[in-house]
Amino acid sequence: MPELLEIAARLDDAAYRAEATPQLAEPLTLEEAYAVQAASLARRYARGERRVGIKMGFTSRAKMAQMGIDEMIWGRLTDGMMVEDGSQIDIADYVHPRVEPEVAFILSAPLPERVTTAAALAAVSGVAPALEIIDSRYRDFKFSLTDVIADNSSSSGFVIGPWSDPRGDLSNLGFVMEIDGVTRQIGSSAAILGNPIRSLVAAARLAEEAGEPLQAGDIVMAGGATAAEQLAPGQHVRLQIQRLGRVEFTVAGI
Ligand code: 0L1
Ligand code: MG
């Protein structure tokens, strides 16, 4: 539908220019919102970006409560969103970015739609501490469920720490996220659907339903374990996850 393509172009332009855009005037259906997301990603692919995986959103009560939304959503990740562990971002590349602590998986085999947690784990070659930089393109970071889905579920950047062997219990690993050496969020991997591997199972189903099944080499960001924190110039953000290690980045500026 032409209107959906226009919305996709507006959201993609807002992300590209790092300029806020008003909330959508008319409510979309869920199907339309994901169609807008796919169309806005098609514009990124046309500029040379490559899909490298997917992110899961609202997989924890803390995130749902922070944003007033209680349904799981997903978005696409591209290589253009990757931020190297330990590197620096420029706040000018974002509208009003926030950061949240997550767990990431990388796959060594495709994941079909219906998988058990054991089968999902068997397709994982690594698990890592990860930070998601979310950046709603909507003015004041305010949106409805379908608005945010259309906006690629606020996907903006992701930073992945060292990959570890995924075998072992991932259900209750302690998280500490610090900004400038001060603890800002404490949590547990249990906050992510009780065990982040459940988020991977859900990701496989949603990706398959969208006609883009998860493939070997794909990255899956399992979702935030705590509320997100606003980013500002000059900050240093670090996440430490029990057994998995740390991941960090800085924000350029004073
Ligand atoms: O959990 C998430 O990553 C949801 C992202 C969309 C909502 C937000 O921008 O906080
Ligand atoms: Mg997230």
Separation of CA 2 and ligand 2 centre (Å): 30
The Å distance, Cα 161 to ligand 2 centre, comes to: 16
The fraction of the chain above a pLDDT of 90, given in percent, is 91
Cβ of 54 below 6 Å from ligand 1: no
Q: Is 150 helix (H, G, I), strand (E, B) or coil?
A: helix
| 99 touches 156 (CB < 8 A) | no
pLDDT, tens digit, 9 for 90 and up, residues 11-46: 999 999 999 999 999 899 999 999 999 999 999 999
Q: What is the 3-state secondary structure (H, E, C) of 32-87?
A: HHHHHHHHHHHHHHHCCCCEEEEEEECCCHHHHHHHCCCCCEEEEEEHHHEECCCC
How far is ligand 2, taken at its centre, from the CA of residue 202, in Å?
15
Structure confidence by residue, pLDDT tens digits, 144-175: 999 999 999 999 999 999 999 999 999 999 99
pLDDT digits (tens, 9 = 90+) for 101-158: 999 999 999 998 889 999 999 999 999 999 999 999 999 999 999 999 999 999 999 9
| Position 2 pLDDT exceeds 70 | no
Ligand 1 atom with the shortest distance to the CA of 224: 1
Return the closest-CA partner of residue 67 out of 206, 203, 228. Answer: 228
Q: What is the mean pLDDT of residues 171-195?
A: 97
Ligand 2: distance of its center to the CA of 94 in Å?
A: 16
55 alpha carbon – ligand 1 mean position (Å) = 10
Output the average pLDDT for the chain: 95
Nearest 5°: phi and psi at 177? -110, 125
Say which residues have a Cβ less than 8 Å from residue 160's Cβ, sequence separation at least 6.
Answer: 82, 85, 104, 128, 129, 130, 219, 247
Residue 58 CA: which ligand 1 atom is closest?
Answer: 1
Q: Which atom of ligand 1 is nearest to the CA of 60?
A: 1
**254 has a pLDDT exceeding 80:** no
How many distinct structural domains can be found in the chain?
1
Which ligand has the shortest distance to the CA of 142? 1
Q: In a 3-state reduction of DSSP, which class is residue 211?
A: coil
Q: Which atom belonging to ligand 1 lies closest to the Cα atom of 66? A: 10
Which residue, judged by its Cα, is nearest atom 9 of ligand 1?
A: 154
DSSP class of residue 151 equals T
pLDDT score of 202 more than 90: yes
CATH number at residue 65: 3.90.850.10
136 touches ligand 1 (CB under 6 Å)? yes
Whether the Cβ atoms of residue 103 and residue 196 lie closer than 8 Å to each other:
yes
Integer Cα distance of 118 and 103 in angstroms:
17
63 lines ligand 1 (CB under 6 A): yes
Residue 78: what are its φ and ψ, rounded to 5°? -120, 165
Please give the residue range of the domain that contains residue 194: 2-252
Span from the CA of 253 to the centroid of ligand 1 (angstroms): 25
Give ∠ CA 23-144-159 in degrees, rounded to 5: 90
- Residue minimizing CA distance to atom 3 of ligand 1: 57
The pLDDT assigned to 71 comes to 80
